[in-house]
Chain A
Amino acid sequence: MNSKNTSSPLLQRPTRRTAGLVLAATTAALALTACQASGDGSSPTADRNTASSADRQTPDGQKNTTKPHRMLWMGDSIGEVQAPPLGAAMKAAHVAFKSIAAAGGGGVVGEIAQPTWEQLPKELTSFKPDVVAYQITTYDWGTPGEQRAAYERLAKTVNDAGAELLIVSAPPFKVDDFYRSHEAAIKTAPKSAKEVADKHPNTVRFLDTSALWGTDSTAAKAQRGKDGIHSCQQGSAAFAAWFGEQLHKQYGFTPAAVDQWATGSWTSEKVYAPLGCK
């Protein structure tokens, strides 16, 4: 199969494969002989064991109490298309990042969330995040009580693993025939999440993204793609930039400048192609 990313349009595929193999071998050799852990979170989906004390210190050697150092990103397919620039932005800010956002799932409410509850504890154990960001999914279907119970369970699971929970409201999206019967639940989910965050002010926080996206999925501000649900590269990058600033407000985090990450190789991620993005 073709490789996922392209490095140069001028290189033919076999050449790229050879170059990739050489690069992989070199990287492996360097990694084996390196004196310190890398810990740069360079891959959105890897980098499970790269936390080092260096990550948690400022350049002058002081203990760095800001967060995050290791971020786990959760959500559905909307979150999945936001993950590539988020990973790039976090990497540029020397934060280890991993996304477990899942197309067609990723939620925590109801039966449909079962795969999430199976996966999350394993990720918390192996990746050891200090902040877990959960973007409310389009599948958080249930009564407000069921939603609150699910978010409480999420908070307890994350907090018990030593991480803080940051719940992020979903962007506005087109409620098509598939979502119509769940419209009420989709509307109550952010309110339910905020109530849970308010109950746990020290360990759970809530981010209302309407400041970024607005509330109308058809408006230009919502930056939805052709399907009215997902964002393309520009919208996803806008979220990553905005999210970095919110992390500063919430945890004192210092985001990387956008020109360090916003036009990187992540823009060619395959996930954007089925959405009609360029």
Chain B
Amino acid sequence: MPTSTKPVRTHRRPHTMIVPVPSGNRHIAPLDGLRGLAVLGVLFFHAGHFSGGFLGVDLFFVLSGFLITGLLLTETQVRAGRVDLLAFWGRRARRLLPALAATIAGTLLLFWALGPPPLLRYALDDAPWVAANLANWHFIADQVGYWNAADTRVFGHLWSIAVEEQFYLVWPLAIALLARGRNGGRRVALVAAAGAVVSLVLMTVFTNPVDTTRVYEGTDTRTFSLLLGSLMATPPATRLLARAGERATAWGSLALACGVGAYWALSDGQNDLSLFHGGLFLHALAAALLIACLAQAPRTLAGRVLATPALRWCGLVSYSLYLWHWPIYLLLSEERLGLTGWSRTVVILAVSLAAAWLSKVLVEDPIRFRAPWAKGRTGAAALLVAFAALATLWALIPEPQTGAGTVDVTRLVSAGTVPHTGATRRPLASP
């Protein structure tokens, strides 16, 4: 999700070799729009209006795989097969961690001040895992899906960020090894395809109808989406699409967009077991093909629709929007707002968009584009200081007391004649 859509290849050169170029300042506008659509799907899903919107997360995964792999392969072309891994991870850290840290700190403070104690208690429990980008495994251990506990975990949505971060740690290493020498792109494509199949098999094997948290949030079981996106960014896939020609690519992108849209519209929610027996894989495959087609031919009908300014704007703030929307949804509950249905949705969407814009303008962009100190050793030191401050905040917030006063002892006393040890029984309370 939070990757730049700077072009990784030229497009609209049918019947010729596609050569990825490391330039630039151009965006593949439809991919921004696609990201906007993905985040809107998630927002409406969480607001209870769109049962297929959770598939937006899958779309984020595919987009991330595609864009990251494209950037890395471009780098290998420019640097004679080598990847500067430290520089890559540094860019990822500058892109992702400041907004994440701000969200964690802001959410803890908000729920400390305003939130119900059980939510703050879980927020304190989950925060270290979120900061370590291991939240998905923590939630799997807690069986959050089984307990249907999402509305008690203010960081519950950040499992997907953890999956992406873990992928960003491992996949660049793989590319750095695979892309060396001749046919490096082909090796990357083969490993991506094979990895996606293995991931699908793991999902099928690990699916437990009673609790799908393991397969829904597991890095291994969701990796196929990232890898299918990666596959589409490799030279073999790019060449194949280029041979198809722009006209076929244009019709293909339209058909795929309609197919993906229909799947979203007809989806019965994230507990549908068919998702884990190939449904999510097919969705990811269709999304990956769509993304590849859009990158190849961005000015087609589907591309133009996706490149509308509103969708692109949502795409540009999608990372912060995703980070902030769920804590805001839980904070502005029906009880607190006194609103239900669409009227509440309008309020929580507006607040989420405002928070996302502030996060982008005040945190994301300054550190990415206007803070030379955020690079190199000073950047690493700043990161350490930021997370030390976060840890201090976490340690200073008192863990709330929950459960007090939840049991009325007088309602437990039976009229029976069973003897009891210990204290005298209390008299029955007056009504």
Contact = CB atoms under 8 A, between A and B. Distances in A.
A234 B147 contact: no
Contacts of A238: 411-412
Contacts of A3: 399
B422 interface: yes
**Most chain A beta-carbon contacts within 10 A, residue among B128, B210, B399:** B399
B377 interface: no
A15 to B, nearest CB: 10
Contact of A259 (B152, B209, B404, B426): B426
B407 A9 contact: no
Contacts of A268: 401-404
Given A237-B412, A241-B412, A2 B124 contact: yes
Interface string B139-158: 00001101111011100000
Nearest to A236: B407
Contacts of B210: 104-105, 112, 139
B125 A234 contact: no
B399 A233 contact: no
Interface string A85-106: 1000000110000000001110
Interface in B98-149: 117-118, 121-122, 124-125, 128-129, 143-144, 146-149
A271 B71 CA distance: 45
B421 A12 contact: no
B409 interface: yes
Interface string A257-278: 1111011001111101111111
B365 interface: no
B395 A103 contact: no
B272 to A, nearest CB: 10
A257 B423 contact: yes
B421 A256 contact: yes
B181 interface: no
B413 interface: yes
A227 B149 CA distance: 10
A267 B403 contact: yes
B396 A12 contact: yes
By secondary structure, the B interface counts as loop
Interface residues of B, number: 51
B182 interface: no
Contact of B420 (A232, A255, A272): A255
Nearest to A248: B418
B147 A263 contact: no
Nearest to B138: A1
A68 B229 CA distance: 60
Given A273-B122, A273-B152, A263 B396 contact: no
Contacts of A9: 398-401
Given A14-B395, A278-B118, A233 B403 contact: yes
Interface in B172-216: 208-211
Interface in A163-221: 178
B416 to A, nearest CB: 6
A186 to B, nearest CB: 14
A174 to B, nearest CB: 12
A148 to B, nearest CB: 23
B430 interface: no
Contacts of A249: 418
Contacts of B412: 237-238, 241, 258, 262
B425 interface: yes
Contacts of B208: 104
Contact of B395 (A6, A13, A105, A272): A13
A267 B117 CA distance: 14
B424 interface: yes
B50 to A, nearest CB: 19
B419 interface: yes
B406 interface: yes
A245 interface: yes
B416 A245 contact: yes
A258 B409 contact: yes
Contacts of A103: 143, 146-147, 211
Contact of A2 (B399, B403, B419, B423): B399
A219 to B, nearest CB: 15
Contact of B118 (A10, A12, A257, A273): A273
B414 interface: yes
Contacts of A259: 409, 422-423, 425-426
A274 B149 contact: yes
B144 A274 contact: yes
Contacts of A105: 210
B400 A256 contact: no
A270 B125 CA distance: 10
Given A255-B420, A267-B407, A77 B146 contact: yes
A276 B116 CA distance: 11
A76 to B, nearest CB: 9
B125 A257 contact: no
A2 B414 CA distance: 37
A242 interface: yes
Given A103-B143, A274-B149, A93 B421 contact: yes
A19 interface: no
A43 interface: no
B422 A273 contact: no
Given A12-B398, A241-B412, A272-B402, 16 more contacts: A6-B400, A9-B401, A77-B147, A103-B211, A241-B413, A244-B420, A245-B418, A258-B420, A259-B423, A259-B426, A260-B421, A263-B409, A267-B403, A267-B406, A268-B404, A276-B152
29 contacts: A2-B121, A2-B125, A6-B401, A6-B402, A10-B398, A13-B398, A14-B395, A77-B147, A92-B421, A104-B211, A105-B210, A112-B210, A233-B406, A234-B406, A237-B407, A257-B420, A259-B409, A259-B423, A260-B422, A260-B423, A262-B409, A262-B412, A267-B403, A267-B404, A272-B403, A273-B122, A276-B151, A278-B117, A278-B402
Interface of B: 117-118, 121-122, 124-125, 128-129, 143-144, 146-149, 151-153, 208-211, 271, 395-409, 411-414, 416, 418-426
Interface of A: 1-3, 6, 9-14, 16, 77, 85, 92-93, 103-105, 112, 139, 178, 227, 232-234, 237-238, 241-242, 244-245, 248-249, 254-260, 262-263, 266-270, 272-278
The 5 lowest CB-CB distance pairs between A and B, nearest first, are: A274-B149, A267-B403, A268-B403, A233-B406, A274-B147
